[in-house]
Structure 1
Amino acid sequence: MRCLICKQIYFERRTLLTLFTEVVTVKCKSCQEKYQVFPYGTVYPITNYQLFMITLFNEKNTLSEDAFMLEIRDICIQYLSKAKDSALILFIDELSEALFYYLDQLNFTDIYLISLYPPAFLI
């Protein structure tokens, strides 16, 4: 397999017990240790509802978001188990001021947002 971050070819170690099972990996071991995801959550009040935002990184970087889809999948599963039936779940690179304004005007339901980077206008 080829690592999505460093583009190096790597091989996942298999044993007799895991030989016929599907193992999904997109990062090599060194990149997985070097670029760990430490998500942190923030809650912003919007009109009549709340915006729950989880940010994966503290600062911008040039890494591909495809390399972190397994972590994003786990966060989405947690959100789906906690969210109401009418909740809105969004995944974006970075929350802009214009998008925050439109989400505030939506006035529909609680919004669960997964973002790669923290919003620059709220820092």
Structure 2
Amino acid sequence: MFDDRSPIYQQIADRIKDDVLSGALKEDEQVMSTNQYAAFFQINPATAAKGFAQLVDEGVLYKKRGIGMFVSPDARERLRADRRSRFFAEVVDPMVAEARVLGVPLDDVIKHINGGSR
């Protein structure tokens, strides 16, 4: 489940974000407690808590005192907007810049994306 590429708490946060984006976790749905999460994945509860705290800080999760953590009502759309922005900044913009350096017309790039010939 976890790899060495990033801290475990970050991987926890990313996994929950992916579950929200995919619809596996719905708005206002309760998520596992940090202790349940830690026990299930056999990790330190403090590590799980750090990942959950990050999600609360980002507005993905919210706490109901004495009950647990829940998915924020606007979490999915907020995450989608963030990922869209990062997609353009990290994928599309560099691709367009490289196409320009190589002299590839953007119309050719668009044709290729739409399944046209190279």
TM-score (norm 2): 0.27
TM-score (norm 1): 0.27
Between Structure 1 and Structure 2, whose CA radius of gyration is higher?
A: 2
From the two aligned structures, give the one with the greater helix fraction: 2
From the two aligned structures, give the one with the greater strand fraction: 1
Greater relative contact order, per chain length (Cα 8 Å cut-off, separation 6+)? 1
